[in-house]
Chains A and B, each alone.
Chain A
Amino acid sequence: METKIDKILERYDNSGRDYLIPLLQEIQDKEGYLSEEAIVKTGKKLKIPTSKIYGVATFYNQFRFEPVGKYHIMVCRGTACHVLGSATVLQELESTLKIKAGQTTRDGLFSIEVVACIGACGLAPVLNINGEFHAKVTTEKIKEIIENYRAKEQ
């Protein structure tokens, strides 16, 4: 059976090593993460050993090997956010959702990822949930934000 991954790979016929990272990025973009199947198939396509692909993929922060939640929360931990209290924000978020950074809630709704800098330092501390920015987040705001997303689901 032809899967989504095969469809993506079709467009990379005769591609060289320099297409490895763009290809992995595209797969993650469509699938949400890099599955074992994706990595093995990519290896066959580009004629690179699977171990080498894992070597590259684990080196970069962007790649994930587990599916993420429906709402993926990126917590910015840049300098400006840190100075304005992002550590407390992260802590509050973790205790509200009862998961640690890098994990997904059991119902599959939320996952937390810590990122180096989103580049919106003027609005620090910042959260990005599925591409939507939440500026100047405080511990009080966290509950409200999470409740809003939960309400959408019901």
Chain B
Amino acid sequence: MDNSIKKYLENLAKSNAKGISVALPEKNIDSKKTTVFIGAGTCGLGAGAAKTKAAVEEYFKTNKIDGEIIEVGCIGFCAVEPIMDVKLPGMNRVSFSKVTADKVSTILDNAFAGKIDKDSSLGQFKTEGLKSWDSVKEINEHPFFVKQKRLVLKNCGIINPTSMEEYIQNGGYAGFIKALTSMSGEEVIDTIEKSGLRGRGGGGFPTGTKWRLAFKTPSDQKYMICNADEGDPGAFMDRAVIEGDPHRLLEGMAIGSYAIGATVAYIYIRAEYPLAIERLKTAIKQAEEYGLLGKNIMGSGFDLQIKIKMGAGAFVCGEETALMHSIEGYRGMPSPRPPFPAEKGLFGKPSCINNVETFSNVSEIILKGADWFSSTGTEKSKGTKVFALSGNVKNTGLVEIPMGTTIREIIFDIAGGIAFDKKFKAVQIGGPSGGCITEENLDIQIDYQNLIAAGAMMGSGGLVVMDEDTCMVDIAKFFMDFIQRESCGKCIPCREGTKRMLEILQSITSNPKPGDNNQALERFQGVLQLEKLAKVIKDTSLCGLGQTAPNPVLSTLRYFRNEYEAHIFERVCPAGICKDLRKFRIIVDKCTGCTACTKKCPTDAIIGTKKNPHFIQEDKCIGCGACYETCKFEAIEMY
């Protein structure tokens, strides 16, 4: 614990009550040691950050440099991980991309010699009082960052997530202390309501209104819950925020708990995120040491305990009533509302559930005011939104954009367009509950209403970009398979209906079994029944999972009906993805008879003798494509 920081916090608490402003504790912007920062979030580690770190240690040792290595969270630019930043004494910090272990020594050698390799540098962080590197661009000018507005991700990848002091030096916990010492719970709620902050977890319910409901219900015990059960396949922003800046979440939760009068708060987090859980545990311990959590916080008489609960892998637990049952130790099944959690929630007490990103917005709203926040965004959706960009784009990663940015800007400016310069087909937004956006809707401005009008939804913010080689029926089948497995089984329309929808999609994309005469008929009825089933499931399911379950099918049907028809009537998959519908043949002129394909074929469908053209027996071929991938002479074609 740092005593000067502790003093600053105490001073801040006293001065706030009197309305005097206090300067932030001094930051040590220029260490006398050479400092190397390594992006060690889950994706950084996956790309080899641990090896990079070992290489830097080795470099320091052999060159006898008294340097420091700091592991930071993820800056969000996953495509160029591992990312390494170098800060020499007196100079600006410079960021490098794709620093695998073998590149470490060259980069450091050059830096010490005063040279920065332009190809591998992302840019420098401009810091007042430090010297800039010549001819190195600022990191904010990099195309990936220039259109972003980073409020929630401000500290991610920059500060040391295991250092509470660094968070405080950057203005952290000032919002919480302000709320605690100079505002009443109701004033906090007023501010949040006025700011227009809406839930970032998917539903988009106004946060202030939610808090007010819980605030107004009298009870001896209330609970604040953070939903960090990021179950949407294709979304990872909560993980990155917690790994990179855990104190921001804790501060937001503390403010929320104070506002509604909760003394116990839970973070329900996926067990699949071990690093994030570790970071949270450290952060909670630190906050307790500084007296920002625990009994009688900063002498205000307010008590707060934050507990971590690990989820056990159930998508439906993203639904608030299901999540609460899971914390209580039951199966995570939703229950009907009313009573709403704000009246009767966890353990029968008033409770409030918010998403990680929602909480992460709170502290700065309290500190800088509602008007500051609402100056960003569109008329009805304020602030920023973090999206997890993945799929067939050049720059995958996390981006935070102001509401009102168009999807085209995200995909083509920030993400750099489609990988391998293929053609854009669609973007799937909002995970299994969302839908697809096609070329024609790329220019809509992102906010809650516009996305719903286009047949998608904000969801938690996964953006999976798909190129021309993606089969939309296959994507719909993928989501249906996921939803069908994750349906908790409480409501029959969801449990049985999603299974039937999956079966229809399977029959559309597969070959009929020999002797099955009904299958062709079922296939023709398929599309009609899909729409009928979808309506029933939507109308009659209890929770959000069921009500949105048919969305991926409905939205692909809306925009890509021709692809469904090609599967059903012509029995071809235009993108060549659905294996059963693929057919291969050997181009006689090109085949050299090398027999490579015969060895690979799992069903022995390829016949022929050595050095003579081969032949594929159609009735034996299962369309796996093993031969297609193996052939070095491009002698096999798909038709």
Contact = CB atoms under 8 A, between A and B. Distances in A.
Interface stretch (A65-73, A96-104, A111-119, A144-152): A111-119
Contacts of A77: 233, 482
Contacts of B328: 17-18
Given A80-B390, A116-B231, A122-B390, A135 B47 contact: yes
B602 A95 contact: yes
B498 interface: no
Interface size class of A (residues with CB under 8 A): 35 or more
Contacts of A115: 272, 313
Nearest to B74: A122
A83 interface: yes
Contacts of B391: 79-80, 83-84, 124
B470 A83 contact: yes
A115 to B, nearest CB: 7
Contact of A116 (B78, B236, B464, B482): B482
A22 B309 contact: yes
Interface stretch (B38-46, B137-145, B190-198, B537-545): B38-46
A128 to B, nearest CB: 8
Contacts of B601: none
Given A79-B431, A123-B47, A117 B314 contact: no
B54 interface: no
Given A79-B428, A116-B233, A121-B234, A61 B313 contact: yes
Contact of A119 (B42, B327, B397): B42
Interface in A118-135: 118-124, 126, 131, 133-135
A79 B234 CA distance: 5
Contacts of A139: 629
Given A59-B332, A79-B234, A25 B466 contact: no
A82 B479 CA distance: 10
Interface in B492-534: none
A4 B310 CA distance: 22
A8 interface: no
B329 A17 contact: yes
Contacts of A19: 329
A30 B64 CA distance: 42
Given A79-B478, A117-B234, A119-B230, A126 B327 contact: no
Contacts of A123: 43, 46-47, 78, 81
A59 B314 contact: yes
B233 A78 contact: yes
Nearest to A81: B233
B462 interface: yes
A24 B233 CA distance: 25
B374 interface: no
A22 B271 CA distance: 11
Interface string B74-95: 0000110100000000000000
A49 B273 CA distance: 31
Interface in B236-255: 236, 239
The list of the 9 closest CB pairs from A to B, nearest first, reads A122-B78, A133-B46, A78-B233, A80-B390, A60-B312, A61-B313, A79-B234, A121-B390, A20-B329
Interface of A: 16-22, 24-25, 55-56, 59-63, 77-84, 91, 95, 115-124, 126, 131, 133-135, 139
7 contacts: A18-B347, A20-B329, A24-B312, A61-B312, A79-B431, A83-B470, A133-B46
